Structure 1
Amino acid sequence: MTTIGLPVALGIIMFGLGLSLTPRDFTRVARHPKAVIVALVCQLVLLPAICFGLVLLFRLPPVLAVGMMLLAASPGGTTANLYSHLFRGDVALNISLTAINSVLAVVTLPLITNLAIAYFLPENDELGLQLAKTIEVFAIVLLPVVLGMLVRWWRPAFADRMDKPVRIASVVILVVVIAGAIVSNLDLLMQNAGRLAGITVVFCVLSLGIGYLVPRVLRVDRRQSIASSFEIGIHNATLAIVIAQTVIGSIEMSLPAAVYGVLMFFVALAFGFLIRGRGGEPGAADGADGADAATGVAADAAAEADSSSPSAQP
């Protein structure tokens, strides 16, 4: 399961992500640079700093501390897009953020993980992500996404047909991977369940809260703030488990992601109902920002319609 099952499962999830991406998802950020920049700063700067503080506050053992930092460095994924859709966030922004984060994670994830190992486990240099392991992370994270994008470019109709089945399969695989990680390491998990449950719930709540409140304070419209919240607050636990177990070779380091992967679903669901209840109808009170967001979505739809019309075909 560790050497073959986990990488294959993650590959399917990342391939499914690639099937939903087009080059337009990377260029769309030019329409809403403020929302993208705020979200990226929150995810790449604030979250690792907050996670580091929580690790010290909860006094986690060194290996579990590195596991938490690895989780904090992991980008969002298709689950974030699903929650954003359920609670009426700007899903187009989610897709763009996921696309950008998947590329940036090739650099930021090894960097943050190596810094955490250097701080918490300075005597275990062999656990670090050296060049060969960093290349492995690149292959795990980015190659399936690129392959999925190529399939969408080559066979767009096939990609559209496969989008929903692959999304469903991704959720099922995510659940199976997390359940497998828990069952196969149940004794080790039970020894640390109490402390891991507390810190992962607090980390998830803070991630979701920061992802929503910081953009709102900076006058980012509400739909985009909801998208930012789920993108920042829902991490790719499967990616963290795979890197911990198959790349770094530490089962114990994967436990924070396994616990987080279970509890995150419920925390994010409760948070979604909370912000929906407090804000009323998304976008209703956003004024010009809401109009700009609607214009951006309309422009995307028009571009897609133009590209698919008979007159636009060569």
Structure 2
Amino acid sequence: MTADPITTMFLPIALGIIMFGLGLSLRVDDFTRVLRYPRAVLVALACQMLILPAAGVGIAHLFGLPPVLAVGLMLLAASPGGTSANLYSHLSHGDVALNITLTAVNSVLAMITIPIIVNLSMLHFMEQGQSLPLQYQKVIELFMIVLGPVLLGMLLNAWRPKFAAVMSKPVKLLSVVVLLAVIGVALFKGRGAIGSYFAVLAPACLAFNLLSLAVGYGVPRLLKLNERQSIAIGMEIGIHNGTLAIAIALSPLMLNNSDMAMPAVVYSGFMFFTAAAFGFWVNRKGRVGSAIVSNS
């Protein structure tokens, strides 16, 4: 795929705006809080970095995804939770402080795990020479594009907290606009294939979305984490940073492949509705459980 100058400039800037907005909401305490939730963080990371990639491979084979879409699904699986997970966790009475910590930690670790998972996926799904892996130089560029704005936002939050608080709302609004623009760019660049891909991608992405929520909530509950922590992890695992996955797939600096962006585009169309349904279910379950306890 040839490099589009507009895309080359727009995607890094768009991703930088979104990650800067994330940085404005983070403090050093959000990283050190890991020491207060070591078990919950380890369980969440195991779900994110071990179970989800394995589930992604299984779903890609189960639904017979073409190799390029299978790699795109794995890119999505490797992407950290999105900042929207914090809002959905709050509305569902999850542990929002844990969500913020997981978003912070996952966003840093993803810069290491994304190249590993994507490159292994290419080796597994694609024939030699079909696509270029993420090279070391591109990984460094990914660090700069993603973590640079996060650190800038954190520094501004530390030095000028009142100004950062004022900036936070317009930046969040701008992030939503940028997210829609990134999805629009992905749809435009993949317009020739989206129709033929959608029939196979829609069920695969929905299945992966539901499985992500189930793993994120079910595994912590099986391991005896409390309800609020399990809800938080469920939202963190189920709501991926689709913008990051789309930007990596589309950017000429990264994978430069619009087809690989399609799973993240389709997934983004599902995840907010399924997350809302999941939040309604856990709240209803909690109310029913409380009513049974109070009546017994």
Does TM-score exceed 0.5, indicating one fold? Answer: yes
- Match for residue 172 of structure 2 among 167, 174, 177: 167
Matches of residues 226-237 of structure 1 in structure 2 within 5 Å?
226-237=231-242
The one-letter code of the counterpart of 2:277 is A
Matches of residues 113-192 of structure 1 in structure 2 within 5 Å?
113-124=118-129, 127-192=132-197
1:16–1:163 contact (8 Å) kept in structure 2: yes
Q: What CA distance in whole angstroms lies between the structure 1 residues aligned with 2:291 and 2:136?
A: 49
CA-CA distance at 1:63 after TM superposition = 0.6
Instruction: Say how many residue pairs are matched.
Output: 286
Q: What CA distance in whole angstroms lies between the structure 1 residues aligned with 2:108 and 2:150?
A: 9
Q: What CA distance in whole angstroms lies between the structure 1 residues aligned with 2:226 and 2:192?
A: 46
Matches of residues 103-114 of structure 1 in structure 2 within 5 Å?
103-114=108-119
Tell me: CA distance 1:125–1:181, structure 2 relative to 1, closer, same or farther (3 Å).
closer
CA-CA distance at 1:124 after TM superposition = 2.3
2:252 is the alignment partner of 1:248: no
Aligned position for 1:305: none
Tell me: CA distance 1:193–1:125, structure 2 relative to 1, closer, same or farther (3 Å).
closer
Q: What CA distance in whole angstroms lies between the structure 2 residues aligned with 1:11 and 1:129?
A: 19
Matches of residues 265-276 of structure 1 in structure 2 within 5 Å?
265-276=272-283
CA-CA distance at 1:284 after TM superposition = 10
Pick 1 or 2: higher relative contact order, CA cutoff 8 A, min separation 6: 2
1:178–1:262 contact (8 Å) kept in structure 2: no
- Match for residue 32 of structure 1 among 29, 37, 40: 37
Aligned position for 2:270: 263
CA-CA distance at 1:185 after TM superposition = 2.3
The one-letter code of the counterpart of 2:201 is L
1:88–1:223 contact (8 Å) kept in structure 2: yes
CA-CA distance at 1:70 after TM superposition = 0.5
1:42–1:210 contact (8 Å) kept in structure 2: yes
1:223–1:283 contact (8 Å) kept in structure 2: no
CA-CA distance at 1:126 after TM superposition = 5.2
CA-CA distance at 1:281 after TM superposition = 8.4
The one-letter code of the counterpart of 2:78 is A
Q: What CA distance in whole angstroms lies between the structure 2 residues aligned with 1:40 and 1:281?
A: 30
Matches of residues 6-25 of structure 1 in structure 2 within 5 Å?
6-25=11-30
Aligned position for 1:85: 90
Tell me: CA distance 1:226–1:58, structure 2 relative to 1, closer, same or farther (3 Å).
same
CA-CA distance at 1:237 after TM superposition = 0.7
Q: What CA distance in whole angstroms lies between the structure 1 residues aligned with 2:82 and 2:236?
A: 7
- Match for residue 100 of structure 1 among 99, 105, 114: 105
Q: What CA distance in whole angstroms lies between the structure 1 residues aligned with 2:27 and 2:257?
A: 35
Q: What CA distance in whole angstroms lies between the structure 2 residues aligned with 1:125 and 1:62?
A: 10
Tell me: CA distance 1:281–1:27, structure 2 relative to 1, closer, same or farther (3 Å).
farther
Q: What CA distance in whole angstroms lies between the structure 1 residues aligned with 2:167 and 2:250?
A: 29
TM-score under structure 1 length normalisation:
0.87
2:72–2:249 contact (8 Å) kept in structure 1: yes
In the alignment, structure 1 segments of 5+ residues that lack a partner are 286-314
Instruction: Give 3-state SS (helix, strand or coil) of 1:59's partner.
Output: coil
Instruction: Give 3-state SS (helix, strand or coil) of 1:270's partner.
Output: helix
**Identical residues among aligned pairs (%):** 56
1:89-114, Cα deviation, whole Å (9 max, x unpaired): 11111110011001101110000000
The one-letter code of the counterpart of 2:33 is R
2:219 is the alignment partner of 1:214: yes
2:186–2:250 contact (8 Å) kept in structure 1: no
Q: What CA distance in whole angstroms lies between the structure 1 residues aligned with 2:287 and 2:157?
A: 37
CA-CA distance at 1:183 after TM superposition = 3.6
TM-score under structure 2 length normalisation:
0.92
State the Cα RMSD in Å: 1.9
